[in-house]
Structures are given as C-alpha cells and as structure tokens.
Chain A
Amino acid sequence: MGTPLKKKLPKKPLEVTIAGIKFRNPVMTASGTFGYGAEFAPFTDIEKLGAIVVKGLSLYPRQGNPGPRIVETPCGMLNAIGLQNVGVDDFIEKKLPLLKGVRTHVIANIFGETIEDYMEVARKLDGVKGVSALEINISCPNVKKGGIVFGTDPQEAFRVVSAIRKSTSMPLITKLSPNVADIRVMVKAAEDAGTDAISLINTLTGMVIDVEKRRPVLATATGGLSGPAIRPVAVRMVWQAAQVAKVPIIGMGGIMNANDALEFLIAGASAVQVGTASFIDPDAAVKVAVGLEEYSKKHSVSMKDLTGSLKLA
C-alpha cells in the first residue's frame, strides 16, 4: 500500500459554500456574543472571519431581563439576557452602516414571540444590502413566549420556518435547541420547511442556586449554559444531526480553539460558530480560523473534505 497519495489541495482550502454563499473560511461568530460586529473592531480583524452573526433581532426593541443575568459555572457560564436588542429597524438604520465596507458576510439572527413577528422581521431584512443570510432563532431558552416553543415542537418549528420561507428570498439558517429528546426530528422539520442550513446547538438550560440565600443566582431562575462545558454534548448532537441532514450544518457549543472547531467539522459540520470564547478573548474566532488554516496545510485537507470525515470502527 505504502503512503497514501496526498490529495491536491484546492486553491482556497478554507473556503466553504453554505446556502449558496461562499465564506472565506468556516468560522463565524455566534449570535449574542459579538454584539452588532463593530464593537470588536478595536480588538480583532473581523475581515478574517467567514461571517459575523449579530445579536438576535426582534420586531421592536427589547429591554431584556432584570439582573443578575449571568453567572460563571465550571468551564462555562449561564446567561439569561432575555434577548435584549435594538430592534430590527434600528439595526438596519444605525448598526448595519457601521459595518459598511467591511469585507465579511453579515448574518442577521432573528426571533419573535409569534409567527407573525418572525415573518415581519424577515420581511424587513429581505434584500437589505449588507445582510447575506438570516439565522432563525427558534431556540432561546430565556424568553417566556415564543422562542423555545418553536424550538422544541417539530410541528411548530415547521410552521415558523415555512412562514419565514414565504416572507423572504434570503438564505435561511435555522438555529436549533439542544433541549429536545431527538435532534434529528427537529432537523427534518426545519428541512421540510425549506431551511437552507441548520445551526446548532443553542445553550442548554441550566440553573445555579445560592445555598446561603436558598435562591437562584439568576433573576429568572434558569438560564442558558454555554462554554467548553457543553462541547461534548454539542459535538454529539452535530454528529447525530449530520446523519439525517441534507442541508449543511453549522456547529457550535464551547469552541475555544481550532482543535475544538475541528471536532465539529469532522463530526459533520460545514462551518462553526465561536461564541463564549469571544468574551474571554475578543480575537478568539480569528485565532480559530488561523488554526484551521495550519491544520489544513499540515494534513493537506480542505475544510470541505474534512466535513463528516469521522472514521468509525
């Protein structure tokens, strides 16, 4: 047999295509961890990223939850921000122009309390210059209405994604919740509704209790767990999703470095999102991209060929 012949690397081994969009590399920032993008300009070169996914946008501005909203946990953090955001109109008028001329894709994450809300936000963003795709959040655990209902019931997920599909011509990414018994059912529901890609996982619902006060630390009692603590769960769910998905998968959950990102790609993701790591190191996502390039060179493998390359005995 001898040494297997090394496959010739394509010209742009890091480039990936998802939902018809070419990304220079498979590294994106996760919604809710990168603001509206411009906040990170002093610390990192956002043009070295595949895409920026902005904070979730609703039809009207949202104030979010009372504090405390965050608490550190072993190898992670719990948050209950409550989807505080400036609203879709202010995003288009005030935040998006700050990214004008920045050569990277901007993906708008959207959510609503009702299907009509989701549709209206999608309509407002339809054809907006500077926005490449929409990521539909059907999975936030921190709002009472909407969100998680659509994310845990496959019929509701189908309804909301179908409705958005009819409201916009933009590429759609559906972001799934891990707080379900079988992720594959949710993948199929989103696909049947016409999503172009799926992203997962959003945070896992968690809770921390102050034993002296016998009270939950977070004002909302529960919150969403993120950070490296959730990574093995996320890798497992991406792997399961990849077994049934026909559309590309964007994997996330506790990615801190290139090695972590590689796990997701090998498990079946075509791209990854870096979230909590950006709080600790604002340059973390770019460092992941640099690390992937090194791996690509070292192993003479393109990102495309890496996707789903998991070997099972």
Chain B
Amino acid sequence: MQSIESKILYNDMLAEGYFRLGLEWKTPRVKAGHFVMLRVSDGMDPLLRRPFGVYKVIGAKGSASKGTGIELLYRVVGRGTSILSAKRPGEVLGILGPLGNGFPSPRKGLKVVMVTGGMGIVPLYMLASQTGGILLFGARTKKERFLLDGFKGPGLKVKTATEDGSMGTKGLVTALLEKELAAGVVVYACGPLGMLKAVSRMCSDAGVRCFVSLERSMACGIGVCLGCAVRSVNHDGKENRNYKMVCSDGPVFDGEDIDWELL
C-alpha cells in the first residue's frame, strides 16, 4: 500500500460520460479486483477520496501485475467524477492503494464464468486476461459495447445481454448465467446490487462457488473509519449480526458470506 501523488498520463472520453484515466505509478503491485482511493480535489469540497476499481496495469509485460502505471475506467455519476473528468494530462492526483483483497485465483480445473453489469465490468478486465473463461456482459443498450473493447484472455468467450435487446440476448444478464451454472464452474461477479444478489442466490441454489465484488460509500479505504460495513452471515449460527468492511475485508466476498436480505 502506498499514498502517492500521481501524474495523469491521459484522461480520455470513451463515450458520452465515460472516461479512461491513466495514472503514472512506478510500482503498482496490483492484483485483479484491487481498488484505489483517489483524491479528485485538493479543496475541502468534495472532501473525501473516492474508490475506483483498477481496470488494468499499464506498461506491464504480458499479464504481469507490475508496470509503470494504472488505468481506471469511470462514468460521470456525481460531483467527484465530474471534477475528475475535467482533469488534464500532467495534473497530479493523490492515490492511495492498491487496496482490498482482490479476486481469489480460481482453483485449477474450474471453469471461470464472469458476470458483469454496466461499469461492474471494470475490475474483471485483469481477471479475464489471466484466467480466460466465459464473460457474461450485461448492459442497458449496445451503446455500452465499447466497455468490451480490448477484453482478452486465454480462450475468452463473451456473451451479451442488453435490457433493450439492441445487442445480444434481450433481458438481464442473469438469464445468460442460468445456462452456465453446472458442476466445475466458479463465478465472479461485479455490478449493481440487485444483480449481485440474484447471481449469488442462483449460484447458491446450484451449489456453485461465487465471488462478488461490492461497492459501498467509504471514507478511508483502509479499514479504520468503519463506514463501509456490510452485514455478513456467520456460518456457525452463533451471531446473526456481524459486519465486514468492504474496503479491508473485501471488496470481494464469497456470496454465501453476505447477508443479502439485510445488506
């Protein structure tokens, strides 16, 4: 973990409201599923850093996790990302990271199925490039297709579902998952809470191991503010109220460990 001032290498618009941010960072030991906390403004408002999943390491050879910087993909959703979108190459941003546990590597012999919804695809880029497998891409319309650009991995197969049917299957990405659930599969998912809840339940019913990457408001990113608590299930049944921190215990959790009803 490091707290550094990083130079912006690029901050390009990919599509209306979507940006690709390159940050210089000499030795990021980043693992698939890690995130960083970015300080988008030196002022007092907005005050807090914002969490961003790492898209990829730049300047790395092959699938190595060491390079010369990191790339983030973000969508402008509020004030913080709006300020960020106006930043220019050469400007400097505070980065804290890499943070979180990241995705656990799939056990040998398991078939990897990745399920994403919208920007939930971001933290899966590195995983896909390492493991390959099947990527189930959920989007609202085909306008989000660019999010798939550059996705590659050993034998990676992509299947798409859009809510308006403008690309791939019409409907939710969970309908695609239904057909993939079988023995010998491990699922990795990131996306909206409703999607993750459904994915987790489907996997649980099918007896398939499922790892989800969660997002929550957080102030520190290092497990001290205790703001990003999610309720978890204690499998020994002793304590029904138990919290885990998305930043330091996660952001990746076994779907079985999350109390989805009381999240």
Inter-subunit contact B242/A63 (CB<8 Å): yes
Instruction: Identify which of A99-107, A156-164, A183-191, A279-287 touches chain B.
Output: A279-287
B47 surroundings in chain A (CB, below 8 A)? 72, 75-77, 227-228, 276, 280
Q: B1-16 vs A: 1/0 string, CB under 8 Å? A: 1110000000000000
Tell me which of B39, B223, B226, B263 contacts A280 (CB under 8 A).
B39
Q: How many residues of A contact B (CB 8 A)?
A: 36
CA distance A64 to B230 in the complex (A): 11
Known: A75-B45, A280-B39. A70 touches B224 (CB 8 A): no
Question: Restricting to A16-72, which residues have a CB under 8 Å from any CB of B?
Answer: 32-35, 39-40, 42-43, 55, 63-72
- Measured CA separation A65–B1 after assembly (Å): 28
At the interface, yes or no: B219 with Cβ under 8 Å from chain A? yes
Contact A43 B226 (CB under 8 A): no
Q: Is the CB of A81 within 8 A of B225?
A: yes
On chain A, the residues within 8 Å of B262 by CB distance are 66
Q: How far is the CB of A56 from chain B (nearest CB, A)?
A: 11
Are A64 and B225 CB-contacts (below 8 A) given A43-B3, A228-B44, A279-B220?
no
Q: Which residue of A lies closest to B241 (CB)?
A: A63
Q: Considering the complex, give the chain B residue whose CB is closest to the CB of A228.
A: B44
Q: Would you call B260 an interface residue if the criterion is a C-beta within 8 Å of the partner chain's C-beta atoms?
A: no
In the complex where A43-B3, A79-B227, A81-B226 touch, is A71 in contact with B217 (Cβ < 8 A)?
A: yes
Q: Is the CB of B224 within 8 A of A84?
A: no
B192 contacts the other chain (Cβ, under 8 Å)?
Answer: no
Which residues from 69 to 109 on chain A have a C-beta closer than 8 Å to any C-beta of chain B?
69-72, 74-77, 79, 81, 84
- Contact A81:B1 (CB < 8 A) given known A70-B219, A72-B47, A75-B45: no
Provide the residues of chain B in CB contact with A280, threshold 8 Å.
Answer: 39, 47-49, 219
Q: Is the CB of B225 within 8 A of A68?
A: no
In the docked arrangement, what's the CA distance between A283 and B228, Å? 21
A69 with B48, Cβ < 8 A, contacts A63-B243, A77-B219 known: no
Contact of A33 among B39, B216, B224, B230 (CB under 8 A): B224
Does A172 interact with chain B (Cβ within 8 Å)? Answer: no
Dominant secondary structure at the B interface: loop
Could you say which of A43, A67, A71, A283 has the most chain B C-beta atoms within 10 Å of its C-beta? A67
A279-B225 in contact given A66-B231, A66-B262, A228-B44 (Cβ < 8 Å): yes
- Does residue A256 face the partner (Cβ distance < 8 Å to B)? yes
Bound Cα distance A64, B227 (Å): 10
Tell me if B124 is interfacial: C-beta within 8 Å of chain A: no
Question: B227, A69: Cβ atoms under 8 Å?
Answer: yes
A64 near B226 (CB under 8 angstroms)? Answer: yes
CB-based contact B218/A70 at 8 Å: yes
Report yes or no: A42 in contact with B224, Cβ–Cβ below 8 A. no
Asked whether B229 is an interface residue with its Cβ less than 8 Å from the other chain, the reply is yes
Bound Cα distance A69, B228 (Å): 7
Known pairs A35-B223, A67-B230, A70-B225; A281 contacts B3 (CB<8 A): yes
The distance in angstroms between the C-alpha atoms of A276 and B3, with both chains bound, is: 17
Which residue from chain B places its CB closest to the CB of A256 in the assembled complex? Answer: B44
Q: Does B1 lie within 8 Å of A84, measured CB to CB? A: no
B93 sits at the interface (CB 8 A)? no
- B90 within 8 Å of A by Cβ? no
Within 8 A of A (CB), among B48-101: 48-49, 94, 96
Query: Contact between B1 and A42 (Cβ–Cβ < 8 Å)?
Result: yes
Are A282 and B3 also in contact (CB < 8 A) when A33-B224, A35-B223 are?
Answer: yes
Q: What is the CB-to-nearest-CB distance from A133 to chain B, in angstroms, rounded to a whole number?
A: 21
- Can you report 9 A-B residue pairs in the complex whose CB atoms are below 8 A from each other? A40-B224, A63-B239, A63-B241, A67-B229, A68-B216, A70-B219, A72-B47, A76-B47, A283-B3
Q: A residues engaging B (CB < 8 A)? A: 32-35, 39-40, 42-43, 55, 63-72, 74-77, 79, 81, 84, 227-228, 256, 276, 278-283
Which 5 A-B pairs give the minimum distances between C-beta atoms? A70-B227, A35-B224, A279-B220, A279-B219, A75-B44
